[in-house]
Amino acid sequence: MAKREYSFYPGCSSQKGASSSNYLVSVQTMCEELDIQLNEIPDWNCCSASIGYAGGGELPRLALSARNIALSEEHNPGQEIVATCAACWLATRETQERLQHDQGLLAETNTALAEAGLTLKNDAPIKHMAEVLIQDIGYDAIGAKVKKPLEGIKIAGYVGCQTNRPFGIAGESYENPKYLDKLVETLGADSIPDYEKKVQCCGGALAFSEPEKSQVMIKGIIEAAYDHGADMIVTPCPVCQMNVEVYQDQINATHGTKFKMPVVYYSTLMAVAYGRSAKDAALNGQVIPAKQLEALAGK
Amino acid sequence: MADDKKFAGFICTGCGIGERLDAGQLETTAKRDGKMATCQQHEMLCSKEGVQLIRDAIDKDGATHVMIAACSRRAKVEAFSFTDVAMSRANLREGVIWARPENDDNQETTQEMADDYIRMACAEVKYMNKPKMSGEQALNKNILVVGGGVTGMTAALETAAAGFPVHLVEKTGALGGWAAKWHKRIPGRAAADGVGNGTNVDLPMPMDNDVEQMVAAVEASELITVHLNSTVTKTSGAPGRFSVDITTESGSTATENIGAIVQASGWKEFDASAIPSLGSSNADVVSNVELEALAKAAGDGPIKRPSDGKEVKSVVFVQNAGQASTAEGHLPYHSGIGDLIAIKQAIYFKAQNGKDCDTTILFDNLRTPGAAGEDFYRSGQQQMVIFSKGQVGEVTSGGNGATVSFKDLILDEEVKLEADLVVLDLGMVPNSGPDPYAANESQEGMTDEEKGDAKAAAEIAVPIDSILNLDYRQGSDLPQLKWGFTDSHFICFPYETRRTGIYAAGPVRRPMDIKQAQDDATGAAMKAIQAAVNAGQGSAAHPRVGDLSYPSFRKEGCTQCKRCTVECPFGAINEDEKRYPMFNESRCRRCGTCMGACPVRVISFENYSIDSVGQQIKAVDIPDEFSEKPRILVMACENDAYPALDQAAMSGQEISPWARIIPVRCLGSVSLSWVTDAMNSGYDGIIMMGCQRGDDYQCHFVRGSTMAAERMAKVGDTLSTLNLEPERVIVHEVAITDIERAPRLIKDMEEVVERVGMSPFKF
Amino acid sequence: MSDMNKAMVEKYRNSFLSEVEANVEEGEWVKMCMQCGVCAGSCPLGDAWEHTPQKIFMMIRAGKRDEVLASDSMWMCTSCYNCIVRCPRELPITHIMHGLAHYAKRLGIVPQGQPTAKFAQLFWDNLIKKGRVNELKLGLSLYFMNGFGEGIKTSLKMKDIGLGMVKTKRMNPMEMLGGHAVKDLSGFQKVIKKAQELEEARLAKHGA
Physical contact, B and A (3 or more Cβ pairs within 8 A): no
* pLDDT value of residue C6: 46
**pLDDT (mean) for B539-560:** 90
Distance (Å, rounded) from C-alpha B231 to C-alpha B171? 6
CB contact (8 A) between residue A206 and residue C132: no
Distance in Å, alpha carbon of B609 to nearest chain C alpha carbon = 58
**Which other chains touch chain A, taking contact as 3+ CB pairs less than 8 Å apart?**
C
Which CATH number, 1.10.1740, 1.10.1060, 1.20.120, 2.60.120, labels domain C3-111? 1.10.1060
**β-strand partners of B269:** B428
With CA atoms as reference, the chain C residue closest to B410 would be: C55
Q: Which residues pair with B424 in a beta bridge?
A: B287, B318
Q: With a CB-CB cutoff of 8 Å, which residues 95-124 of chain C face chain A?
A: 98-99, 101-102, 105-106, 115-121, 123-124
Q: Does C98 touch chain B (CB under 8 A)?
A: no
| pLDDT for the residue B448 | 61
Mean pLDDT value across chain B: 93
Nearest CA distance, B384 vs chain C (angstrom): 6
> Please, what's the b/e burial string for B668-686 (b: 16 or more CB within 10 A of its CB; e: otherwise)?
bbbbbbbbbbbbebbbbbb
d(CA B640, CA B690): 7
* CB nearest C31 (choices: B314, B382, B388): B382
Mean pLDDT in residue range B686-710: 93
Q: Of C17, C29, C35, which is closest to B410 when you measure between CB atoms?
A: C35
Chain B's closest residue to C51, CA to CA, is B411
Q: Report the chain C residue with the minimal C-alpha distance to residue A200.
A: C44
In this prediction, residue B489 has a pLDDT band, given cuts at 50, 70 and 90, of confident
Q: Does C84 touch chain A (CB under 8 A)?
A: yes
Q: C196, A57: Cβ pair inside 8 Å?
A: yes
Cβ count within 10 A of residue B696: 9
Q: Which among A116, A165, A249 has the least Cβ separation from residue C191?
A: A116
Banded model confidence at residue C7, pLDDT cuts 50, 70, 90: very low
CB A241 within 8 A of CB A265: yes
Superfamily of domain B270-427: FAD/NAD(P)-binding domain (3.50.50.60)
pLDDT tens figures, B659-668: 999 999 999 9
Q: What is the pLDDT of residues B104-162, one digit of tens each?
A: 999 999 999 999 999 999 999 999 998 887 776 779 999 999 999 999 999 999 999 99
Name which of C101, C133, C194 is nearest A54 (Cβ-Cβ): C101
Residue C32, min C-alpha distance to chain B (Å): 6
Prior bond of B599 cis (ω within 30°): no
**pLDDT over threshold 80, residue C83:** yes
CA distance C58 to chain B (A): 7
pLDDT at C144: 65
Query: Could you give the maximum distance between any two Cα atoms of chain B, in Å?
Result: 95
Class of the CATH domain delimited by B1-130: alpha beta
Lowest mean pLDDT among A167-171, B87-91, B444-448, B547-551: B444-448
Residues paired with A190 in a beta bridge: A154
Contacts of C54 in chain B (CB under 8 A): 410
CATH code at A4-129: 1.20.1050.140
Q: Least CB-CB distance to C55: which of B199, B314, B411? A: B411
Tell me if chain B has a CB within 8 Å of the CB of C59. Answer: yes
Collect all residues of chain C within an 8 Å Cβ-Cβ radius of residue B378: 32, 89
C64 touches chain A (CB under 8 A): no
Distance CA A229, CA A223 (A): 10
B382 touches chain C (CB under 8 A): yes
Q: Torsion over CA of B674, B676, B678 and B679, rounded to 10 degrees? A: 160
CATH 3.40.50.11810 placement within chain A: 149-274
The conformation of residue B130, written as its DSSP 8-state character, comes to -
pLDDT one-digit tens code per residue, B344-380: 999 999 999 999 899 999 998 899 998 898 999 999 9
Do C123 and A49 make contact, defined as CB atoms within 8 angstroms? yes
* CATH match of B143-198+208-266+431-537 with 3.90.1640.10: no
pLDDT score for C107:
93
- B143-198+208-266+431-537 and B270-427 share one fold: yes
CB contact under 8 A, C120 and A51: yes
Q: Closest partner residue to C102 among A54, A114, A214, by Cβ? A: A54
Give SS3 for B625. Answer: helix
Rounded to a whole number, what is the distance in Å from the CA of C67 to chain A's nearest CA? 18
Which regions of A237-291 does DSSP assign to beta strands (E)?
263-265
Q: Which helix (H) or strand (E) holds B616?
A: helix B610-619
Chosen from C29, C56, C61, C90 to mutate, greatest number of chain B CBs within 10 A: C61
Q: Does B195 touch chain C (CB under 8 A)?
A: no
Cα separations in angstroms, A218 against A27, A141, A245, A255: 25, 34, 9, 12
Mean pLDDT, residues B529-537 taken together: 93
The answer on pLDDT for B455 being more than 60 is: no
CB B618 within 8 A of CB B660: no
Instruction: Quote the pTM value.
Output: 0.88
Task: State what percent of residues in chain B have pLDDT above 90.
Answer: 84
Instruction: List the helix and strand counts (H, then E) for chain B.
Output: 20, 33
Which is nearest to B507 in space by CA: B243, B269, B171? B269
Q: Which residues pair with B397 in a beta bridge?
A: B402
Residue C181's nearest CA partner among C125, C122, C128, C131 is: C131
Q: Is B495 on the interface with C (CB under 8 A)?
A: no
Residues forming beta bridges with residue B242, ordered by sequence position = B258
- Split at pLDDT 50, 70, 90, the class of C15 is confident
Centre a 10 Å sphere on the Cβ of residue B46 and count the other Cβ atoms it contains. Answer: 19
Q: Are B381 and C34 inside 8 Å of each other by CB?
A: yes
- Residue B381 pLDDT: 96
Residue in A22, A44, A63 closest to C168 by CB: A22
Count of beta carbons in the 10 Å neighbourhood of residue B132 = 11
Domain with CATH 1.20.1050.140 in chain A: 4-129
The shortest CB-CB distance from B411 to any of C14, C29, C58 is to C58
Contacts of A49 in chain C (CB under 8 A): 123
pLDDT digits (tens, 9 = 90+) for C129-182: 999 988 877 777 776 666 666 777 777 777 888 888 888 888 887 777 667 899
Instruction: Say what the pLDDT of residue B288 is.
Output: 96
C-beta contacts of B405-412 below 8 A and 24+ residues apart: B406/B362, B408/C58, B408/C62, B410/C35, B410/C54, B410/C55, B410/C58, B411/C55, B411/C58, B411/C59, B411/C62
Sign of the Cα torsion A242, C149, A209, C133 reads negative
Mean pLDDT calculated for residue range B5-30: 96
Collect all residues of chain B within an 8 Å Cβ-Cβ radius of residue C31: 199, 381-382, 384
**Closest Cα in chain B to C17:** B384
Residue C196 near chain A (CB below 8 Å): yes
Whether C28 contacts chain B with CB within 8 A? yes
* Neighbors of chain B with 3 or more C-beta pairs under 8 Å: C
Number of CB pairs, chain A paired with chain C, less than 8 A apart: 223
Tell me which residue in A49, A117, A206 faces C116 most closely, judged by beta carbons: A206
The string over B174-209, giving b where at least 16 C-beta atoms fall within 10 Å of a residue's C-beta and e elsewhere, is: ebbbbbbebbbbbbbebbeeeeeeebebebbebbeb
Query: Edge-to-edge, what's the strand order for the sheet holding B632-637?
Result: B659-664, B632-637, B685-690, B729-733
Residue C2 confidence (pLDDT) above 80: no
Distances (CA, A) of A43 to A8, A72, B41: 11, 10, 93
Exposed (0-12), middle (13-18) or buried (19+): which is A95, by Cβ within 10 Å? buried
Confidence category of residue B446, pLDDT binned at 50, 70, 90 = low
Q: What is the 3-state secondary structure (H, E, C) of chain C?
A: CCHHHHHHHHHCCCCHHHHHHHHCCCHHHHHHCCCCCHHHHHCCCHHHCCCCHHHHHHHHHCCCHHHHHCCCHHHHCCCCCHHHHHCCCCCCHHHHHHHHHHHHHHHCCCCCCCHHHHHHHHHHHHHHHHCCCCHHHHHHHHHCCCCHHHHHHHHHHHHHHHHHHHHCCCCCHHHHHCCCCCCCHHHHHHHHHHHHHHHHHHHHHCCC
Of C15, C32, C62, the CB nearest to B381: C32
The identity of residue A211, as a single letter, is: P
Q: What is the CATH number of domain B552-603?
A: 3.30.70.20
**C191–A162 C-beta distance less than 8 A:** no
pLDDT band (50, 70, 90) for residue C4: very low
Task: Give per-residue pLDDT as tens, B312-329.
Answer: 999 999 999 999 999 988
Contacts of C15 in chain B (CB under 8 A): 356, 358
pLDDT in tens, B287-307: 999 999 999 999 999 999 999
B219 phi/psi in degrees, rounded to 5: -65, -30
pLDDT digits (tens, 9 = 90+) for B561-607: 999 999 999 999 999 999 999 999 899 999 999 999 999 999 999 99
Calculate how close chain C gets to B300, using CA atoms only, in Å.
24
Residue B462 in this model has a pLDDT that exceeds 80: no
Q: What is the pLDDT of residue B460?
A: 53
- Looking at the partner chain, which of C29, C34, C55 has a beta carbon nearest the beta carbon of B199? C29
The domain made up of B622-763 has a fold known as Rossmann fold (3.40.50)
Q: Which CATH architecture has domain A149-274?
A: 3-Layer(aba) Sandwich (3.40)
* Model confidence pLDDT, tens digit, residues B252-264: 999 999 999 999 9
Per domain, the residue ranges of chain B are 1-130, 143-198+208-266+431-537, 270-427, 552-603, 622-763
Specify the pLDDT at position C11: 37
Q: Which chain C residues are closer than 8 Å to B411 by Cβ? A: 55, 58-59, 62
| Neighbors of chain C with 3 or more C-beta pairs under 8 Å | A, B
Every domain range in chain C assigned CATH 1.10.1060: 3-111
CA dist B444 and B477 (Å) reads 21
Looking at residue C147, its pLDDT comes to 67
pLDDT tens, residue order, chain A (299 aa): 578 999 999 999 999 888 999 999 999 999 999 999 999 999 999 999 989 899 989 999 999 999 999 999 999 999 999 999 999 999 999 999 999 999 999 999 999 999 999 999 999 999 999 999 999 999 999 999 999 999 999 999 999 999 999 999 989 999 999 999 999 999 999 999 999 999 999 999 999 899 999 999 999 999 999 999 999 999 999 999 999 999 999 999 999 999 999 999 999 999 999 999 999 999 999 999 999 999 999 98
